[in-house]
C-alpha cells in the first residue's frame, strides 16, 4: 500500500545549478539528479535533490532481516514561489509526493550500499519520476459543467 503526501504549493521556483542550470523536462518524465541538481518540469515545477537523509538499505552481500530504506530530501517549487522541503522514501509508503498538479516519486537511489565502504555524499544520485495530473485552468473551474 502506498501513501501519498499532499502538499499544495501556491507558487515556487528554485535557483539554477551552477553553470549548466536545471535539467528541463516535459511530463511525464524520469530524471536522475545528483545532490544539489534541479529539474524544471513543463516550465512550472522545479524539483531539487537536496541530499540523503538516511540510507539503511541492506548492503549488497549482507544478510538482513529487513530490506531497509533510503530517505532523500527534496524541495518542490511551483511557478516562481518559495521552495517547499519534503522527503521521499525508497522502501516505505512515503515514496511519492503530490503538489497541486504534479506527483513526484522516488524510483531509485544509487549507488547501492556495500559492506566495504560508506558512500560519499557526492556519489549519490536519485532517480525521480514526475507526472502532471488534473490541471484545471481558472476559466475551466469557473465555467458550469454540462
What is the tally of structural domains in the chain?
1
Q: What is the pLDDT of residues 42-87, one digit of tens each?
A: 999 999 999 999 999 999 888 888 888 999 999 999 988 899 999 9
| Dist CA 40 CA 130 (whole Å) | 10
Looking up residue 40, the CATH number of its domain turns out to be 2.60.98
Domain span at residue 118 reads 4-142
Q: With 0.85 as the threshold, say if the pTM is over it.
A: no
Looking at residue 146, the DSSP 8-state letter turns out to be -
Cα distances from 96 to residues 60, 75, 105, in angstroms, run 25, 13, 4
Q: What is the pLDDT of residues 12-35, one digit of tens each?
A: 333 344 456 899 999 999 999 999
The DSSP element (H or E) to which 139 belongs, if any, is: helix 138-142
Amino acid at each position: 500500500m502506498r501513501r501519498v503526501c499532499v502538499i499544495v504549493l501556491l507558487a515556487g521556483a528554485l535557483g539554477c545549478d551552477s553553470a549548466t542550470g536545471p535539467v528541463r523536462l516535459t511530463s511525464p518524465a524520469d530524471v536522475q539528479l545528483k545532490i544539489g541538481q534541479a529539474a524544471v518540469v513543463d516550465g512550472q515545477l522545479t524539483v531539487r535533490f537536496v541530499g540523503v537523509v538516511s540510507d539503511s538499505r541492506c548492503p549488497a552481500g549482507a544478510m538482513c532481516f529487513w530490506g531497509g530504506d533510503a530517505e532523500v530530501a527534496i524541495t518542490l517549487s511551483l511557478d516562481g514561489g518559495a521552495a517547499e522541503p519534503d522527503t521521499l522514501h525508497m522502501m516505505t509508503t512515503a515514496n511519492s509526493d503530490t503538489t497541486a498538479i504534479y506527483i513526484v516519486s522516488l524510483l531509485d537511489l544509487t549507488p547501492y550500499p556495500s559492506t566495504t565502504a560508506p558512500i560519499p555524499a557526492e556519489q549519490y544520485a536519485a532517480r525521480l519520476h514526475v507526472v502532471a495530473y488534473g490541471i484545471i485552468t481558472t476559466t475551466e473551474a469557473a465555467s458550469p459543467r454540462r
